[in-house]
Amino acid sequence: MALRRVLRIDNADDKKILKLHCQLVKLPDRTLKQLVADMFETMHAANGVGLAAPQLGVPIRLCVIGIPPEYEEQPDGSEVEVAPAEEYVFFNPKIVKTSGEEVMRDEGCLSLPGWYGQVPRQTWVTVEFQDIAGKPRRIRKADGLLGWALQHEIDHLHGVLFTELIRDLGTLRDITREPEPEVEHAPVA
């Protein structure tokens, strides 16, 4: 595995690649296992939830998504994992059905680190794709973080950037420049 450089929206040369419509992937193709591994390593190192191949300069229809585990706080203050982490690999994904109902979400992108804005997304999507062996797969009514990430990553495969979907550019902000919330500090004994 290897960390790769993520192309940036605010770099003119990078943006030309990010705006490309990606090529279909002919499967099976064993050479893609290394790319998938590199994508997950790069995504995790950047604390991302998803990454599309064009973000690494590879204009093919491939994206990966990693949903973190969910925890629930117990009455005694401890946390228990209620849903494990899940990792997904999507070759040639396409949205075949949507909820028809939009929700505004605060969204960011590894290609514009630290910047977030309000983006309209469907509340759920059904996606058809292929696994690495080329077998057709389908995820029905993906909602929550998975549904949101699927829409974002599939947009990348069509050369659509999240900043282009923001209806009110006043919501676009650099959270690295926002003042940190004041935190109460417990006295040290």
| 153 in active site | yes
Active-site option among 153, 164, 182, 184? 153
**What is the C-alpha separation between 175 and 145, in angstroms, rounded?**
20
Neighbouring-strand partners of residue 88: 65
**CA–CA dist 163, 111 (Å, integer):** 11
| Residues with catalytic roles | 153
